Amino acid sequence: MVATKFRLEYSSNIGFATDQGGRGFQLPAHMAVRSDNRIFVASRGRGPTVGVQMVSREFEFFGKIGSQGKSLGQMIEPSAIAFDANENLYVADEKLNRITRFDYEGEVIDSWGQSGSEPGQFNHPSGLLIQDDVVFVSDALNHRIQKYTLNGDFIEQWGDQGLDGETLKNPWGITCANNGDVFVADWGNDRVVRFTENGKFISDIRKGEGGDLSLNRPADVAVDKDDNLFIADWGNQVLQVFDGDGNFLDIKRGEADLNPWALQYFESQQDEKQARSSYVPIFETDTEDVREISARIEPFFWDPCSVALDGDGGVYVLETCRHRFQIFDTI
């Protein structure tokens, strides 16, 4: 039976490209929403843009945590962020192969991790989940999930490179169901996998019941209070939504318009505003390549890499190549 009482409605979008720091993002990789609905976005562009930017749904910009570099509290390629029960922020860096912990105010506490394939080592940590004081890490190029204490002490791991069942191939985003089961976006196998918290395979989704589109390189997954799954389907350039039984609920391609940050920028840069005035929106293309279509059609998602939820039914979809996130509301 396909569920029907579900719909996402576009609300707004936030962000634009910046290469000088300050308000905006550059090549954002992941996002998370804190319990007070402050939105955190990990940018991995270059120079002053590298770090975790903090914004609100009301277009407020609160600054940035971290800077580019290898010292404690710095980052090079932040790839995932998550919060513990005390609102400490954890940032995975897939270039430095470490996890860094910051307090509520953004002050660095400590870091842990090193490159390698042994237990307790990383090769491109790409996803973070914190549940019951346990840190789950998607260790992408080691094709496994590792578990740690909040202080970085290794607990256990599961997974090995493979095509199905308990095996993984380049796992990326990770989240949990309300009963504690763990969902992993198994990027290289075009599926989202459900495990017990100890790594026992339960099921997977490759195509939702009643849906038309099989997953293609899913980058991230989030679960709401009703156990609906929101999947950033990177290869298809869409957001797909399924219920807890795998029934298809909705799909979004992106609907963004110019947000207030962009409009304010054009008002301050008259030459850019004049150039923009001659822009002719594109709604049809001469290609079937979905990424190329995304690149040409401005409202569409262009590389949706992360999906996050707030406590009020808000759904946030982050786009790497348009340096923004789109906001939808659950209806």
Q: How are the residues of the chain apportioned to helix, strand and coil, as percentages rounded to the nearest 5?
A: 10, 45, 45
Please tell me the predicted confidence (pLDDT) of residue 2.
Answer: 46
Confidence of residue 4 (pLDDT cuts 50, 70, 90): low
For residue 97, being part of any structural domain is answered with yes
Please give the residue range of the domain that contains residue 64.
8-330
Mean pLDDT of the chain: 95
Mean pLDDT confidence for 243-254: 94
Please tell me the predicted confidence (pLDDT) of residue 210.
Answer: 81
Residues 23-32 pLDDT 10s: 999 999 999 9
Residues 169-207 pLDDT 10s: 999 999 999 999 999 999 999 999 999 999 999 999 999
Joined tokens for residue 268: 């301050």
For residue 81, being part of any structural domain is answered with yes
Does residue 276 carry a pLDDT above 90? no
Please tell me the predicted confidence (pLDDT) of residue 183.
Answer: 98
Residue 36, number of CB atoms within 10 A of its CB? 10
Does residue 3 carry a pLDDT above 90? no
Question: CA-to-CA distance for 133 and 204, rounded, in angstroms?
Answer: 26
Joined tokens for residue 186: 């198994």
Angstrom distances, CA of residue 265 to CA of 18, 259, 327 = 11, 10, 21
Mean pLDDT confidence for 229-248: 96
Please tell me the predicted confidence (pLDDT) of residue 208.
Answer: 80
For residue 3, being part of any structural domain is answered with no
Rounded percentage of the chain residues whose pLDDT exceeds 70: 99
Confidence of residue 248 (pLDDT cuts 50, 70, 90): very high
Rounded percentage of the chain residues whose pLDDT exceeds 90: 85
Please tell me the predicted confidence (pLDDT) of residue 283.
Answer: 78
Please tell me the predicted confidence (pLDDT) of residue 277.
Answer: 83
CB distance 84 to 150 below 8 Å: yes
Helix, strand, or coil (residue 166):
coil
The phi and psi torsions of 268 (rounded to 5 degrees) equal -90, -10
Does residue 280 carry a pLDDT above 90? no
For residue 1, being part of any structural domain is answered with no
State the DSSP H helix or E strand holding residue 265, giving kind and residue range, or none if neither.
helix 260-268
pTM attached to this predicted model: 0.95
Does residue 82 carry a pLDDT above 70? yes
Looking up residue 246, the CATH number of its domain turns out to be: 2.120.10.30
For residue 53, being part of any structural domain is answered with yes
Confidence of residue 284 (pLDDT cuts 50, 70, 90): confident
Residue 171, number of CB atoms within 10 A of its CB? 25
Of the CA atoms within 13 Å of residue 27, those in its CB half-sphere come to 12
For residue 2, being part of any structural domain is answered with no
Question: CA-to-CA distance for 66 and 80, rounded, in angstroms?
Answer: 14
CA quadruple 292, 39, 183, 45: dihedral, nearest 10: 40
Please tell me the predicted confidence (pLDDT) of residue 1.
Answer: 42
For residue 266, being part of any structural domain is answered with yes
Mean pLDDT confidence for 143-158: 97
Does residue 19 carry a pLDDT above 90? no
Please tell me the predicted confidence (pLDDT) of residue 5.
Answer: 73
Query: What's the number of domains the chain is made of?
Result: 1
Note the residue count of the chain: 331
Residue 161: burial class (beta carbons within 10 Å; 0-12, 13-18, 19+): middle
Give the closest residue to 193 by CA, choosing from 170, 212, 224: 170
Mean pLDDT confidence for 117-140: 97
For residue 24, being part of any structural domain is answered with yes
Please tell me the predicted confidence (pLDDT) of residue 86.
Answer: 97
